[in-house]
Structure 1
Amino acid sequence: MKPRVGLFVTCLIDLMRPSVGFAAAHLIESAGCAVVVPRRQTCCGQPAYNAGDADIARDLALQTMRSFDGCDFVVAPSGSCAAMLRIHYPALFKGRGATEFAIKAFAERVHELTAFLVNVRGMAATGARFEGRVAHHDACSGLRELGIRDEPRRLLASVAGLELVEAPEVSPCCGFGGLFSVKYPEISTAVADRKIEDLKVPAPDLVTGGDLGCLMNLAGRLKRTGETLPCRHVAEVLAGALDDPPIAWGSAGNRP
């Protein structure tokens, strides 16, 4: 029997880039799994958690856990949301008896998309094709909280025609940081500009990433400065789902 994988779509993908969700579902199915997309799923609670509202974050965490009841795994095409579910949910319920143990059991089933494909399902290639040079941006949560770095690169390197190139500085932030880019637009813009200049060094034809928020922030800044470097979620490239235009919408805080 195929493992049942619940796809945690994420708010940004649902509202801004549904093609990423479809690409993620395709990749999970290609890995021999049955995909489930619960209708009851909502926000992971990260905005409330980061704003210090633990009560709302806990309510959303319980809603999320119950939505994915019966799933063998829960997979998110976002390191940020995956880290919230996997790391911060247990912290929210520490010392809360049976609920703490239930949340921990749920968190252990949560994985970021590329980590799930490579580390859990043993995927080595997706059969996709892309002609061009690609630089991959590591989102902060995926890299620092979940330790995801090699997994997306291993899959990208398997794409026919794709040349994977590296920027000189892989780890710096893109400047998004959720509400940070809205509250501190000048700092966000400066950080994004530095990141873009670094990404441009290896002269890529495309920038990929595992978090839509980062890609929207970079794409928005590129558009406002007249740059033509396109951005794509890594799932779209790996699934060969490139019919939609590249990401071009920026965060509210990232202004010229």
Structure 2
Amino acid sequence: MATNPDFPHLEYFQQSMEMTTNDVGQNLYICIMDKLKNPDDHVYIGLSGGSQVKVISSLLRQFFTNGLLFNRIHIFMVDERILPLDHPDSNMGSYMRLTPPEMHFCFMPIAAYYDPNDVALEFSARFSQMPGLMFNEKGFPIFDLLIMGLGPDGHFASLFPNHPVLNEEQRWFAPVYDSPKPPPQRITLTIPVVNAAHKTMFFVIGADKVDILEDIFKKSVHYPPCLIVPENGDPVVFYIEYEAGKKIDLPVPVS
């Protein structure tokens, strides 16, 4: 584990793909099991699309096959493209295609046939009515766990560098009309909601992330993940597959 002294709330583990996947899976499983100990509690998890979909879907299938009950587990996308579920670029659709239909009731898709602003408002309204959802003192919902990816340009969710939505301080989900990465229309979780989460993790895979990770952890370049300052004081943890992190210069643990 190492930290960036300029961003003390960020920590990272650079590991083999197997160890990275195991650690992410263990965190996901522990989060779910800890919350389900109380029969009245519900678990709220936010996931990214992109390179992590296959790995996280595999973990969810494994949990389901092993008998984990999903009736109090609620899974959301930290961002979503304004596309129908059957479109190949839909984040939620990608997860649903890789998980058993018996699990799909735990996913909350967006209403993808509206203007992004209307989608964000409608989605936030539905989200606010979810059972057992907790809120912080500022009225932002509290996710139990966020597992997010990182783009080669430093974006996460649909929070892109220098985009005005990074300054959003009121909304839970915000519209994006001009994403630098297609498709342009999306909704995204906002920084205040990320900061309210109990636990925030990044799952970073692939050699195309080498330069951005070096910028964040060795050159102290201020990208969107550096805006995350968890309210509970816990660090934001990056689980980094070795190929993605080979410029960070950590020793690779033996798996």
TM-score greater than 0.5 by the shorter chain: no
Q: Which has the higher strand share?
A: 2
Scaled by the length of structure 2, what TM-score is found?
Answer: 0.35
Scaled by the length of structure 1, what TM-score is found?
Answer: 0.34
Structure ranking higher on relative contact order (CA contacts 8 Å, 6+ apart): 2
